[in-house]
Structure 1
Amino acid sequence: MDGPIRTPTEPILTLAQWLSPGFPIGAFAYSSGLEQAIADGVVTPATVQDWLADMLRDGNGVSDAILIRAAATAADPQAVDRIARAFCPSRERLLEIDAQGAAFCAQLRANWGIDATNLTYPVTLGVGIRHLGLPLTMAVQMYLHAWVSAVVAACQRLMALGQTEAQRIVAALAPLCSEIATETETKTLDDQTSQSFAADIAAMRHETLSPRIFRT
């Protein structure tokens, strides 16, 4: 049947669709600065799990979790979006959440009848969650896990990281995704912070990396 899908019968399946690698937001095109860190020899198959854990715990992982929650409960998502943009530590980080957010907005308008425009990725997800009444903590957990899966897949294209080891890393970081999702239940935009300085600097330096295969 044509037309927008307004009420999901299975919330977890809607989240699985939105956060699937097949959802057309172009997540495969971004490495979150890992391409530069790998080129510098800082991130290797032996250190990638620790690097990603730091990004989750102290960088864009916890930051995005807070933004998703704020957007899902805010009267003015645009105000949350302005904060999301202001807190981006690099131009490439802004490109990443802006471009994916624009693609996500287009899908929400076309397929779910949600009026979302010009929002960053985590804010767009929060808006979608609010409109459809989806489980918030589960959504944050799945968002973080999807990010881990995407950047681990990027690492596989950049260094000698086999499929089995890649999946071991994703599985090993799953509890941390759940932990952050739970811990941010009581956090607000006043708790917004980023302390993954090495990852932020790698994202900044990636702007001039040549050759490169990822946008960030």
Structure 2
Amino acid sequence: MDNTIMLTDSHLLTILQLASPALPVGAYSYSEGLETLTENGAIANQANLKHWLEAELRYGAIRLEAAVMIRAEQTAKIGDLKALCRWNLWLSAARETEELRASSWQMGRSLIQLLGKLEPQVMPIVNAVGNRCNYAIAFGIAVAHWQINIQAALLAYLHSWASNLITAGVKLIPLGQTAGQQLLLDLQPLISLAAKEILTLEDDQLSCCSWGLSLASMQHETQYTRLFRS
């Protein structure tokens, strides 16, 4: 992956908007198992959280999501709606818990609805995917429609994921805001490396090791007190 990314002002502003925590898709309401892990003491400080996020970037489900986001962008760009729907179903099947699948569908549905209001011309693609659209698929559709450089889009997708979970960790552990910002800065080299690896993955290489995330997600449903939906 070339480290030089050329973006127009419009494309840069658009990807910043798409990856912004202010985007009304509800990402802030999910902890992806972090609430369970802090409750049981597995994540108790900044170092624990950093280790968890690093492991997810190297081996976890976020790599699958990002890889499918790329494929959604590619298929949406050429109008291959059949392949787009197939990847959406594939990603739904790859989600190991009902909670993770529901959160992906909710965020995807919210982004699809927003896209439909902002860009009515994208509605044929939106309607083809349906209500059970995963967030990665919706993100890829937006990237294709706005013709954003896929490398920049991938970095933004991973950075947004890390930022949301660090924000959850700041609230749950708790951590100071400065510690959260330091952690996000420390993750930059790994985010860049993960993006480089994900861009080269072939379809038959799509896999992850996320049993820790799955167990934490399943236990979250019965947690006594919760700040997050799942």
TM-score of the superposed pair, with normalisation by structure 2: 0.87
Residue matched to 1:95: 102
Shift of 1:89: 1.3
Q: For 2:119 and 2:192, how far apart are their aligned partners in 1?
A: 27
Q: Which amino acid aligns with 2:61?
A: N
SS in 2 for 1:194: coil
Shift of 1:196: 2.5
Deviations, residues 80-109 of structure 1 (Å, cap 9, x unaligned): 100110000111110121100000001111
Q: Deviations over 1:16-75 (max 9, x none)?
A: 101101110011100001000110100121310010111122112211111111111122
The one of 157, 175, 199 equivalent to 2:213 is 199
> How many Å separate the matches in 2 of 1:172 and 1:196?
22
| CA deviation after TM superposition for structure 1 residue 188, in Å | 3.3
Counterpart residue number, 2:73: 72
Q: Which one-letter code corresponds to 1:23 in the other structure?
A: L
Distance apart, 1:169 and its partner CA: 0.7
What amino acid does structure 2 have at the position aligned with 1:53? E
**Residue correspondence of structure 1 range 141-156 to structure 2 within 5 A:** 141-156=155-170
The alpha-carbon distance between structure 1 residues 9 and 107, as it changes in their structure 2 partners (threshold 3 A), is farther
* 1:29 matched residue in structure 2: 29
**Root-mean-square deviation (CA), in Å?**
1.4
Residue of structure 1 equivalent to 2:64: 63
How far, CA to CA, are the matches of 1:160 and 1:23 in structure 2? 24
Paired AA for residue 44 in structure 2 = T
Give the match for residue 17 of structure 1: 17
Are the counterparts in 2 of residues 138 and 181 from structure 1 also a CA contact under 8 Å? Answer: no
Query: Structure 2, unaligned stretches of length 5 or more?
Result: 1-7
Query: Helix, strand or coil: the match of 1:208?
Result: coil
Helix, strand or coil at the partner of 1:10: helix
Q: Could you tell me which amino acid in structure 2 is paired with residue 132 of structure 1?
A: W
What is residue 4 of structure 2 aligned with on the other side? none
Amino acid at match of 1:126: G
Identity, in percent, stands at 29
Gaps of 5+ in 1: 1-7
Report the number of matched residues: 209
